[in-house]
Amino acid sequence: MIVTGDELDDTLPEGSEEASEQEQDELFEHYRIVADKNQSLLRVDKFLINRLQNVSRNRLQIAAEAGSILVNGKAVKSSYKVKPGDTVTVVLSHPPRDIELYPDDVPLDIVYEDDQLFVINKQAGLVVHPAYGHYRGTLVNGLVHIMYPDLIDQPIKSESIRPGLVHRIDKNTSGLVVVGKTEQAMTHLSKQFFDRTIERLYLALVWGDFSEESGTITGHIGRSLKDRKVMDVFPDGAHGKHAITHFKVLERFGYVTLIQCKLETGRTHQIRAHLKHIGHPLFNDETYGGNRVLKGTVFTKYKQFVENCFEMIPRHALHAKSLGFEHPTTGKFMFFESILPPDFQSVIEKWRAYASHQKLTIDQ
């Protein structure tokens, strides 16, 4: 029997239903299979091939080498013989979509590169990977251009190349992204995302002040039942997938606050949806209602001040500041930090000056 990763109980009925869990921002697949009571001894790679569609034996062997195939909770080699009642779990990097990719000369800030991976400091406004309406000029197109410099405007099949994504950030979010070059790197990184050992910190400028210095937001995230283009929070767990976001106040400016967010899960728009849910949408987040005056008076001067701030950062104020992970081949822990881009830094300085002026006026 095959079930999704969230259904990890120990009393599953026998059967042959198949399903996979594909994360939204973390691009991997997770399978859990319980061997039937009549299962004959069989290598785990062959066992999985018989049950998973479009998964090659080589891909499974790479997953085993990366420690991504577990039997009864312990990592095994591909030669392990599955026995009746064994619980087999596997995490695989998301297979490349069958599309043609063009190498595009996209300006990229490459923070780190070796034969296994890239770490990119993505600029706001850049789409991470090709999708409907954005088949050219994405971050992936730019990396293909770097990896295959001899190709000039010639499309190649995505299934035959890397780079490969294991997570992504929104078009208008700036900051750090790790991209695997090889199947081994992608599988190893995918396992780390699944195990929640990847360290990620975001900086966010949000509307409103907080009564506490830190906190945790918990609530399932899924497509809104009213608008499928946005995500919503379902505290009762009736829809969506489990999501956890930790936050910490860094600096208060009265009507807006600079906070740090740490993710435990990686759902689509997780930070944006969670912060709106608790009444603190991202500053200038058009999708989630942060692009209008939400706190403070609506007097002309203040309203003009806020609109000037919107012009300074014409996107939602979210930046993926740091990223830490174990290198797929060396096992060394790697940690990267990026500075705030000019638009984000400028709007913080403007709010800081405004808050200082307001405090000075009150003190006088």
The secondary structure of 261-327 as a DSSP string is EEESS--TTHHHHHHHHTT-PBTT-TTTT-SS--SS---HHHHHHHHHHHHHS-S--EEEEEEEEE-
Cβ count within 10 A of residue 253: 18
E strand or H helix that includes residue 46: helix 44-49
Has 109 been annotated as catalytic? no
Bridge partner residues of 215 (DSSP): 247
3-state SS, residue 352: helix
State the DSSP code for 254. Answer: S
Bridge partner residues of 70 (DSSP): 75, 89
State the DSSP code for 112. Answer: E
From the list 25, 45, 170, 343, the catalytic residue is: 170
State the DSSP code for 134. Answer: B
The burial class, CB within 10 Å (0-12 / 13-18 / 19+), for 283 is: buried
- Give the number of C-alpha atoms closer than 13 A to the C-alpha of residue 192, restricted to the C-beta side: 24
Question: What residues have CB less than 8 Å from 336, skipping those under 6 apart?
Answer: 111, 112, 119, 176, 322, 323, 324
Residues marked active site are found at 170
